[in-house]
Structure 1
Amino acid sequence: MKILSMQSWVAFGHVGNAAAIFPLQRLGAEVLAIHTVQFSNHTGYGDWTGQVFTGDHLHDLARGLAARGALSLDAALSGYLGDAGVGRAILDIVAQARAASPAMLYCCDPVMGDTGRGLFVHPDIPPLLLDHAAPAADIMTPNQFELEQMTGISCHSRAELLRAISSLQDRMRRDGPRLVLVTSVRTGETADDTVELVAASPEASFLLKTPRLPLNANGAGDLIAALFLFHVASGDRSGAALRHALECAGSATWAVLARTASAGSAELCLVAAQDEIVSPTSRYDARSL
């Protein structure tokens, strides 16, 4: 499987491409990477060094990949967007790759913000994601805050969450499977000691519960988006395959987070937990909603 991942890169720690590339490789994928930034560390530390790349930089790299015939892909993945120019370049590259490989899956992780932090992207990013990225996407992986921002639907119950997912699916690529994975779900039905994930196609939806861990690790959303994309692309896109992808991605991400919490680490312990990415020792089962 060949996957193009277009995300941020950090020299220290595991967010963006640094949270996605190694797990995908560990699962056996051939990963092509285009970095949208190169920083010393993620911005949550409060200070960092490095550079933000431009849309022209991304286009230039894509031209080089096309010259090698390397844009014939099984899947493409995008995450945090520093500015609208980078977002437009990513969508241009997705369109170019899809022309070479019409069956390619595009997964857009619509990184915008989170509960408690609010929006942390430039104001032109949310409309770009909703009006341009969603119509090109086969898979979207918002957290609950991002889903609510994109749809205008407050998800106080699972019924409202499913209505918001359906609203987002209506904006997604018509010829695609229109799969949505919602991470960090907390509704009125969620127990305090539990984290919920919901994955849905237009035909079916599934709920996965894992124990809540005593940490809030940067990069967990980037990790689960990559894992979910891999397992969807490896399946037959049926309801059973969607459920399997949710179980594999959710179980592996929980195992990495559990190892991280046990180590008391501020960064994901991806290398130490690499076997868990392939074969999680704790398996969590999803149920139909």
Structure 2
Amino acid sequence: MTDTANTPANPDTPARQKPAIIVATSQVVRGAVGGRSTLFALERLGFRVWHLPTILLGWNPKYGPSTRLIPDEVTFASMVDDLIGSRWLGEVGAVLTGYLGAAHEGAALGRLVAAVKQRNPDALYLCDPIIGDEGNLYVPAETVDAQKNELMPRADVLTPNLFELGWFSGRPVDTETATLAAARTLPAPRVMVSSAPALRKKSLSTLLATPKGAFAVEHAEVDGVPHGTGDLLAALFLAQLLEGADDEAALAKAVSGTFEMAARSAKAGSDEQLLSEYQQAIVKPMAMVTSRRIIERSGRA
């Protein structure tokens, strides 16, 4: 019998290659929101990323106006067609869409998702339906409709914040029970809701509804949360699913990494995520979070 326990790995044997991920969302020149946050996290975790910007801005609009470059309908559709017809489409194992620069992008991205899934039926599609926060929409009504009608019905995973969940479901989201009931109305097998009602005081919760049950992960509040944490959370959750983690474990690790990044960045006095400085939070988060299963009134557990 050959003892292989101490046999060194063959350096010529390639490691298992992770799938490529198409990310279609905003791009800023300065800052760590949108594509800047998503791409950094996914590439740091070893995934190859195809980035299709839906809009280019100087910085986060919360800092004030800057020039907005949005691909026109023909140009954006042509770019999508290039990707669909590329010889590398089979490399793609997931698609993540976020902020739309214009409503016409919804239909084109829907075609892209369909083409990826036709080529690779196991590919995951995560839709982060970014339309607003803190009680306000920050995209036009037609862009909201594009998210709702063109993209959300195709999703394997939806990641709305609490405001977005309430808007799309038309239901109250003031308690954990109500939030879970609202999440169950959305057209995806997995719905992850950030900023959900927490059971503990001075805590934040992220809720996940799945076909096999529902879960919540809580952590302490962070004063001065930096911008872009929702983008990071969606990217980390998708990465964990692609790595083979189960739903509860994927949620806990994604929330832990996002919480640690937010806490460390805020403690450093930054209103932006300090991605490069605290990138270890992405790779091996150490922040303590509390995970629990939610018992549903309908009998799901």
Do both proteins adopt the same fold according to a TM-score greater than 0.5, normalized to the shorter chain?
yes
Say if 2:281 is the partner of 1:276: yes
1:250 Cα deviation (Å)?
0.2
1:29 Cα deviation (Å)?
0.7
Give 1:1-289 correspondences, 5 Å limit.
Answer: 1-72=19-90, 73-116=92-135, 118-168=136-186, 171-172=187-188, 178-186=189-197, 189-191=199-201, 193-235=202-244, 241-289=246-294
CA distance in structure 2 between the aligned counterparts of 1:163 and 1:258, rounded to whole angstroms: 30
Question: Could you say what secondary structure the match of 2:107 adopts?
Answer: helix
Q: CA RMSD in A?
A: 1.5
Structure 1: which 4+ aligned runs deviate by more than 6 Å? none
Assess if the C-alpha contact under 8 Å between 2:208 and 2:214 holds in 1: yes
Assess if the C-alpha contact under 8 Å between 2:219 and 2:290 holds in 1: no
1:88 Cα deviation (Å)?
1.4
Which digits, 9 at most, give the CA deviation of each residue in 1:171-207, with x for residues without a partner? 23xxxxx1111001126x452x111001120221111
Assess if the C-alpha contact under 8 Å between 2:77 and 2:105 holds in 1: no
Assess if the C-alpha contact under 8 Å between 1:55 and 1:88 holds in 2: no
1:58 Cα deviation (Å)?
2.8
Which digits, 9 at most, give the CA deviation of each residue in 1:224-266, with x for residues without a partner? 1111111112226xxxx00011011100001110111011112
Larger radius of gyration: 2
- Taking structure 1 as the reference length, the TM-score comes to 0.90
- Number of aligned pairs? 275
Structure 2 unaligned runs (5+)?
Answer: 1-18, 295-301
Assess if the C-alpha contact under 8 Å between 1:56 and 1:89 holds in 2: no
Question: Could you say what secondary structure the match of 1:251 adopts?
Answer: helix
Letter in 2 for 1:235: G
State the identity %. Answer: 32
- Taking structure 2 as the reference length, the TM-score comes to 0.87
